[in-house]
Amino acid sequence: MTGSDKDTLEILVEKARAGKRQAFSEIVRRLMPQVTALTYRMTGDRDTALDLAQDAFVTAWEKLDSYRGESGIAGWIYRIASNKTLNHIKLQARLVGESAVPEPVAPEATSSPENLLRRKELAERVRRFMLDLPPQQRAIFELRFYKEMPFAEIAAATERALGTVKTGYREAVKKLRDLATREGWL
Amino acid sequence: MMNCEQAREIIELHFGGDQIPGDLQAHLTECESCRAYYDEMTALARGLGSDIDSPFSAEDFDRATAGAVDRIDRQPVIELRPAGWLRPMLRVAAVLLVVGMSYSSYRMGVESNLGAALDTLQTADADIDRLTVLLEYDTDDELDEDMISILIDDYCTDASYEATTSLLDDISEEELEYLTENFEVGELL
């Protein structure tokens, strides 16, 4: 996100706080891809990811008066989405009795160029890697690696100690490296 | 002077990031092994794909956006109050909840863990963001829907999610089943 994009988002937030729903709709439009990417990497399910992304924006609208502006509206909404997704995973585990990991969708193979196929296969393996992580570690990795959030902000979002967050991230990174070594990516 | 263990720790913590601290840079210029590790991890991070590298189409995003906007538009217009009202309101609600619970419990003859609730409220008074209430009841008696509704509404208006997470940790299977059958739990969470 460029500096001017961020400034414009914050201006939209101020308009939304003043009750202009159209301003918030524009925030939704701009951030929907990133938020959906987060919920998808954490759940592995397309429909669930889209539903949770919608839920996150609705909640963000409802709680807009509690937004302090410290992390930027995007970071704030990522936190909401991450927590909603974690609660969803937890609830699903309680209802179905185990953490259900969706079966991977086979990447299209036939007519893709070799490097595009390789990239899709790699993306699918990384997706499986993410889903094999414990939910909290998954959230930490998502927020740090993909959303580039500072550790302190992740600690606040996941309500864990800073040291725990850092340790969680390192453990996820080391697991990823081990996977990459076994798969021959390195 | 940084050692290799410290260097690898920093490399892992900065995985996916652009900049590394100066003292790590200095170590990498002197240590081939750590340099190789750093190069390996940098290549790995580069290969993981972008943030929005996902299977969704523009139409998927448009539909999801329209869905979110529609749900927001259907909500009643609520004036955004200054932030200062929330904590006093939650404290009042918490006190009413305890009073209501004890009265309802007396009337209904349902056992409630009033002592634990009061202990928790004392803690909540010092740190209202971490308010949790242990709700115990006799499952053979009819649940008080108003009390359940107040409890859920209280916690879901709080910006902290630990309250709702703790609620999930503490309620029984029967309570969870009741909530999912009678409330739109997904939205509440």
Q: B109 in helix, strand or coil?
A: coil
| Chain B environment of A180 (Cβ under 8 Å) | 44
pLDDT mean over A96-114? 47
Determine which of B65, B74, B184 to mutate to test the interface with A (most A C-beta atoms within 10 Å): B65
pLDDT computed for residue B47 by the predictor: 79
pLDDT computed for residue A127 by the predictor: 83
Tell me which residue in B13, B51, B161 faces A166 most closely, judged by beta carbons: B13
Cβ of residue B136 closer than 8 Å to a chain A Cβ: no
- Per-residue pLDDT band for B46 (boundaries 50, 70, 90) equals confident
Please give the angle made by the CA atoms of A149, A172 and A151, to the nearest 5 degrees: 25
pLDDT computed for residue B103 by the predictor: 52
> Rounded to an integer, what is the distance from CA A131 to the centroid of its chain?
12
- Per-residue pLDDT band for B31 (boundaries 50, 70, 90) equals very high
**A12, A3 contact by CB (below 8 A):** no
Higher pLDDT, B37 or B139: B37
Give the pair of three-digit tokens for residue A149.
Answer: 């959030």
Determine which of B6, B9, B52, B89 to mutate to test the interface with A (most A C-beta atoms within 10 Å): B52
Q: Is the ipTM of this complex over 0.85?
A: no
Range in A23-32, A111-120, B169-178 the model is least confident about = A111-120
| Chain A environment of B16 (Cβ under 8 Å) | 144-145, 148
Range in A166-175, B35-44, B171-180 the model is least confident about = B171-180
Sheet strands (E) in chain B: none
Indicate whether B166 pLDDT > 60.
no
pLDDT computed for residue B20 by the predictor: 84
| Chain B environment of A61 (Cβ under 8 Å) | 72, 75
For residue B91, how many other CB atoms are within 10 A of its CB?
A: 15
Query: Is residue B8 left, alpha or beta, with left meaning phi > 0 and alpha meaning psi from -120 to 50?
Result: alpha
pLDDT mean over B29-36? 94
Please give the angle made by the CA atoms of B112, B117 and B123, to the nearest 5 degrees: 170
Contact check, Cβ <8 Å, B56/A46: yes
pLDDT mean over B77-95? 49
Range in A164-168, B12-16, B180-184 the model is least confident about = B180-184
**A123, B56 contact by CB (below 8 A):** no
Higher pLDDT, A124 or B67: B67
CA distance B110 to B67: 42
| Chain A environment of B168 (Cβ under 8 Å) | 87, 90-91, 94
Shortest Cα distance, chain B CAs vs residue A125, angstroms = 10
pLDDT mean over A34-39? 94
Higher pLDDT, B115 or B36: B36
pLDDT computed for residue B91 by the predictor: 53
> Rounded to an integer, what is the distance from CA B81 to the centroid of its chain?
23
Higher pLDDT, B154 or A62: A62
Tell me which residue in A28, A51, A94 faces B69 most closely, judged by beta carbons: A28
